[in-house]
Amino acid sequence: MTERAAHPGPGPAAPFSAGTGRTAVEVPAGACDCHVHLYDARYPAVAGAKLLPPDAGADDYRLLQQRTGTARAVFVTPSTYGVDNRALLDALDAFGEAARGVAVIGPDTGDETLHALHARGVRGVRLNLSLGVANDAADLLPLARRIAPLGWHLQLLAPPDLLLGLAPALEALPVPLVFDHFGRLAPSMAGRHGAHALILRLLRAGRAWVKLSGGYIVSERPAPHDDLMPLARSCIEAAPERVLWGSDWPHASASAGHQPMPDDARQMDQLAQWAGTAGVLRRILVDNPAALYGFDLPPTTNRETS
């Protein structure tokens, strides 16, 4: 399936997103939303799952793309399904070359399965130590060693104190590391918690990436979550070539009532403010996802880099 172009003009309402209308930002061609989940009741939740959101499918997400202006997506198996990646594979089939995947695997996942996942567009595995029930911290190095021959990355979600405790292992991983949801750092931890320094150090060393995703989760203020600016800028200034963005649609924690439902068009507006220039915005939305996930770069002229 070929990539769909982002729709110009005002966008409609989309399920699981507050507000209506399209972002005010001039979103570059080939922009990628690097953190999306799909949910389907045909696939049972794993025992102990903490988030049980309603169905959110490919057509629902296409409506969101009309609001954010993105044309590509990285779908991530949510904690709800444990190591069952069927909803992820459905998403990859629906979006074709415009999508990549991040799966969840266990110690019993065979090499044949890993190669089959790769052929379908998977380029990493997620280790969720905040809400996940499929893995624990002891799986960090074994998982990294399993996926290294495939050229995959390891995406990690962990509380900051645990993240800091894992520092020696993280600094020695044989694969690229991706921190999602701002590394789970609250804005008040910026410059104060050792996990913030660790993330910045790994970004600068070219050993890690960070997703500016789930800002509404880590923010300590109500929308528009203006406390996120210093934290976001610290990552961008440390290594603009290592920063990604994700909507975190369909916002399962908001559906569960833990936070108000965010407005995804406004999330894109906020990213543009953090980026500061069109060149940095393009780098975050287009160049960096292409480098990490293996997308082709769209043709462009007069590309800005800063």
For residue 5, the model assigns a pLDDT of 36
Is residue 18 included in any domain, yes or no? Answer: no
Each residue's pLDDT tens digit, 47-79: 999 999 999 999 999 999 999 999 999 999 999
Evaluate whether residue 306 is within a structural domain.
Answer: no
Q: What is the pLDDT of residue 10?
A: 54
> Do the domain assignments include residue 160?
yes
Inside any domain, residue 49: yes
CATH of the domain at 122: 3.20.20.140
So which residues are the catalytic ones? 248
To the nearest 10°, report the CA torsion of 186, 306, 281, 235: -10
pTM above 0.85, yes or no: yes
Residue 164 in domain: yes
Domain housing 146: 32-293
Q: In the prediction, which pLDDT does 11 show?
A: 54
pLDDT of residue 220: 97
User: What are the structure tokens assigned to 269, written together?
Assistant: 């507006």
**What is the mean pLDDT for each group of 10 consecutive residues in the chain (306 residues)?**
40 88 97 98 95 96 98 97 97 98 95 98 96 86 97 97 96 97 98 98 98 97 96 98 98 92 97 98 98 92 46
SS (H, E, C) 228-250: HHHHHHHHHHHCHHHEEEECCEC
pLDDT number for residue 299: 83
Residue with tokens 């057509």: 59
Question: What is the amino acid identity at position 229?
Answer: M
Asked whether residue 1 is assigned to any structural domain, the reply reads no
Looking at residue 151, what is its pLDDT? 98
Number of domains in the chain: 1
Domain contains 13? no
Is residue 36 in a domain? yes
